[in-house]
Amino acid sequence: MRIAVFQATSAVGRIDANLDALASAAAEAADGGADILVTPELFPTGYAPDRIHHLDGATVRQAVSTTAERSGIAVVASTVEQSDSGRFITATLFGADGTQVLHYRKSHLFGTEEAQFFTAGSALSSVVRFGDLSVALGICYDVEFPEYVRALAVAGADLMLVPTAVPARVSSTFDSAAVPGLIVPARALENTVAIAYANQCGTGFAGRSCIVAPDGSFAARAENEPTLIFADITSETIRGARADNPYLRSRRLDLY
């Protein structure tokens, strides 16, 4: 499977312009032979929880579905979802025919602003067969929790598709570049899963989107400029990593 990750800066509230940029990226990814495009967290609306939490993402998701169908490529997009049970940050995988394959509500909200305006999801992503791989979704902060990625690996995931909006710096003592630089590769290695991690870039964001192979190596990576990166991850890639790396087989479930 050829994976494309779109790194860009979206404009808060300029939904039509952001959707146009997403559509252009989908067309370019399709021209590059990609089977699937992963886009950043809340890219269609812009990432600003206090300013976009009231929006209903249903129309946005329909637009992304149309983009996937027109471009002939699967697309992962992150939107806002309003429901009777709360207001959620979500990610949705649309197939190349525009049908919804996976939909997930972010379960680990980051910081006080997300917690103020959104509700945490109460379930893991489902794992579905997509091409020759089993795929699952996560959103940004989710992947920073070992338990989240491990649970999906145990459930059969080969590939994690992760929209994200990691800031340039979390605090004076924690450089958020450590997330794509250290944490994402560690999650891939310790679980023998591939991870496609799509970040926003530009002022205020860390950029450094990446596609990490199941041995923890970078198959493709960006810096902090708008770009599209590609990598091929196959079932043979996953099987080879799992044959070489016994982490999942060596767990002591009698102890923990």
Q: Where are the alpha helices (DSSP H) in the chain?
A: 15-31, 49-52, 58-71, 111-117, 146-154, 178, 184-191, 235-244
Report whether pLDDT(10) > 80.
yes
41 given a catalytic annotation: yes
Q: Which is the catalytic residue, given 81, 114, 140, 210?
A: 140
Confidence category of residue 82, pLDDT binned at 50, 70, 90: very high
Q: Give the C-alpha separation, 94 to 4, whole Å.
A: 14
Residue type, 29: A
Question: Using CB atoms within 10 A of its CB, is residue 168 exposed (0-12), middle (13-18) or buried (19+)?
Answer: middle
pLDDT digits (tens, 9 = 90+) for 20-45: 999 999 999 999 999 999 999 999 99
Q: Given 81, 106, 114, 201, which residue is catalytic?
A: 106
- Which backbone phi and psi does 38 adopt, to 5 degrees? -110, 130
Q: Given 41, 81, 114, 144, which residue is catalytic?
A: 41
**pLDDT average, residue stretch 204-213:** 96
Instruction: State if pTM tops 0.85.
Output: yes
Alpha carbons 180 and 40: distance in angstroms, whole number: 13
Catalytic residue status for 106: yes
Domain parsing of the chain, residue ranges: 2-244
Question: What is the Cα–Cα distance from 164 to 140, expressed in whole angstroms?
Answer: 4
Q: What pLDDT shows up at residue 174? A: 76
**Residue 173 burial (CB count, 10 A):** 6
Q: Mind listing the pLDDT tens digit for each residue in 45-62?
A: 999 999 999 999 999 999
Asked: is 2-244 a CATH 3.90.550.10 domain? The reply is: no
